[in-house]
Structure 1
Amino acid sequence: MNLPGDADFFGWVLYIAKHYGVIFLNGAGITFLLALVGTLIGCVIGLLVGVLRTLPVRRDANTFVKTLHRLLQFILAAYIEVFRGTPMIVQAMVLYYGSMQVFKVDMTPLFAGFFVVSINTGAYMAETVRGGIGSIDIGQTEGAMAIGMSHWQTMLYVILPQTLRNILPQIGNNLIINIKDTSVLNVISVTELYFSGNSAAGAFMRYFEVFFIICVIYFIMTFTCSRLLLWIEHKIDGSSYYSLVKSDMMADPSGHNPVQMGGGKTWTN
């Protein structure tokens, strides 16, 4: 199994990659799955919490409704502060071992990993969503209310579509951060990429070579995701090349509808 003692760095890299390549790829797959699913669920949690934190209460509401609203805001704020203010590695330990000791819930390490990544991402996304909603001009909310829309209709049809576009870069950042931060889940024995690399390093006693391979795999995953997310952003923005229609089709008395084409040409129907 061992190479000669005078083997160079790249010789060891190729040797370890050949013997542990499948294990590294399996670990990378679990890492990406944890990050992707955790980010998606976290975005849903963050979207819900962010909208609830912007929920207004009417001035003429009764005391019970106002008290309930304050209690809800306190709980949501506490959730955000706790999970943004503590490391994910500590959250994983508390959730995995604490649930087993206190509540007698014996969850698998992988399920605990999904849960921790999701609620941790949700806390960060909640503030991102709240900030995104606040960045939309208040006149759009007032206009929607003026035509009879409720708060939830205004959020669903007017505010959130714009908010999601504005916060898309942050969603991508959270995905990339989660790809890297899932490495802390090795403390609860989740067999992600770092855990696989640590096992290989211990077997060969070649830490530099093993973690060089791990570093390259992490970079490939994060770089690919960042390029893909940029492509999605450009697709959502649409093309920057267009021609303006210079005539009013509805005002043409002849009944024809002239349409301005590229290059200054028009056609009628």
Structure 2
Amino acid sequence: MRIGPIDVEFLLAIMPILLKGALMTIELTVLAIFFGTIIGLFVALMKISRFKLLTVFGGIYTWVIRGIPLLVQLFILYYGLAQYFDIQLSPKAAAVLGLSICGGAYIAEIFRAGIQSIDKGQMEAALSLGMSYTQAMRRVILPQAYRRLLPPMGNEFIALMKDTSLVSVITMVELMRSGILLNSTYIRSMEIYLTVGIIYLIMTTFFIYIINLIEKRLSISDAS
């Protein structure tokens, strides 16, 4: 059955392959946001540290990683390490590592901005009560900052999900790579890539809805 130029039977036949790729896209995104959040938090704490060396290191990290395109970073991790250091990462390992390192640089700036948005008097009060800097950050500052971090973190999650399409260049079989492989077999670019695009749109729309729902519930709890 055809709807205009679209062969519905063909799309139904390839849909399981694309959906499998979509699940891998979601897995890569979740892993990247998890490890990227850990990296980002540590780098953010470095950037606001009282120790100059840590501040400089955190600044260099975000400057370098944000200044080099993710695609280039993936090539370095997958091909460069193998060629010059005999470190052969699997496509999945290279994809997760590249997305996490890149995402971590942007998440670090989100954390830094969120932490610094909290009134400095909060830290001073915590320290005056005998807390260490680490205790004050963990018990006082971060619990107040996390609500302000949710909207930009949600945006970063969506951005990372779309950026997973770049890992197709290192033979990682996710949604985009699945579409490329199908097109190399059937040569039906419009149908395949349009379907890939629609699946990305559905996924991003779903997660945007979830993020907005969480934000609304947090705002209701704040009001009450």
Which one of the candidate residues 190, 203, 216 is aligned to 1:208?
190
Say whether residues 1:140 and 2:134 are aligned partners: no
- Structure 2 unaligned runs (5+)? none
Please tell me whether the aligned partners of residues 11 and 191 of structure 2 are also in contact (alpha carbons under 8 angstroms). no
* SS of alignment partner, residue 178 of structure 1: helix
Say whether residues 1:177 and 2:159 are aligned partners: yes
* SS of alignment partner, residue 55 of structure 1: coil
Say whether residues 1:158 and 2:140 are aligned partners: yes
What is the aligned partner in structure 1 of residue 35 from structure 2?
A: 41
CA distance in 2, matches of 1:49, 1:77: 8
Q: More helix per residue: 1 or 2? A: 2
- Structure 1 unaligned runs (5+)? 57-68, 243-269
What is the aligned partner in structure 1 of residue 217 from structure 2?
A: 235
Q: Displacement of 1:48 after TM fit?
A: 1.3
Supply the AA of the counterpart residue of 1:231. L
CA distance in 2, matches of 1:134, 1:124: 16
Taking a change above 3 Å as real, the CA distance of residues 216 and 90 of structure 1, as seen in their structure-2 partners, is same
Taking a change above 3 Å as real, the CA distance of residues 161 and 239 of structure 1, as seen in their structure-2 partners, is closer
The alignment yields a C-alpha RMSD, in angstroms, of: 1.7
Say whether residues 1:74 and 2:56 are aligned partners: yes
Please tell me whether the aligned partners of residues 172 and 229 of structure 1 are also in contact (alpha carbons under 8 angstroms). yes
Q: Which has the larger radius of gyration?
A: 1
What is the aligned partner in structure 1 of residue 208 from structure 2?
A: 226
Please tell me whether the aligned partners of residues 43 and 171 of structure 1 are also in contact (alpha carbons under 8 angstroms). no
CA distance in 2, matches of 1:154, 1:111: 35
What is the aligned partner in structure 1 of residue 131 from structure 2?
A: 149
Q: Displacement of 1:157 after TM fit?
A: 0.6
- Percent identity between the two aligned chains: 36
Superposed CA offset, 1:119-155 (max 9, x none): 1111011111111111101111111122111111110
Supply the AA of the counterpart residue of 2:161. I
Say whether residues 1:186 and 2:180 are aligned partners: no
CA distance in 1, matches of 2:46, 2:121: 20
Please tell me whether the aligned partners of residues 48 and 55 of structure 2 are also in contact (alpha carbons under 8 angstroms). no
Q: Displacement of 1:202 after TM fit?
A: 2.3
Please tell me whether the aligned partners of residues 16 and 210 of structure 1 are also in contact (alpha carbons under 8 angstroms). no
Q: How many residues align?
A: 224
CA distance in 2, matches of 1:183, 1:121: 14
Task: Please list, as runs of the form range in 1=range in 2, the aligned pairs for 1:21-170 lying within 5 A after superposition.
Answer: 21-56=15-50, 69-170=51-152
What is the aligned partner in structure 2 of residue 266 from structure 1?
A: none
Superposed CA offset, 1:81-131 (max 9, x none): 111011111100011111111211111001100000111111011111111
Supply the AA of the counterpart residue of 1:113. A
Please tell me whether the aligned partners of residues 30 and 192 of structure 1 are also in contact (alpha carbons under 8 angstroms). yes
Question: Which sits farther off after the overlay, 15-24 or 167-176?
Answer: 15-24
Taking a change above 3 Å as real, the CA distance of residues 139 and 240 of structure 1, as seen in their structure-2 partners, is closer
Q: Displacement of 1:241 after TM fit?
A: 6.9
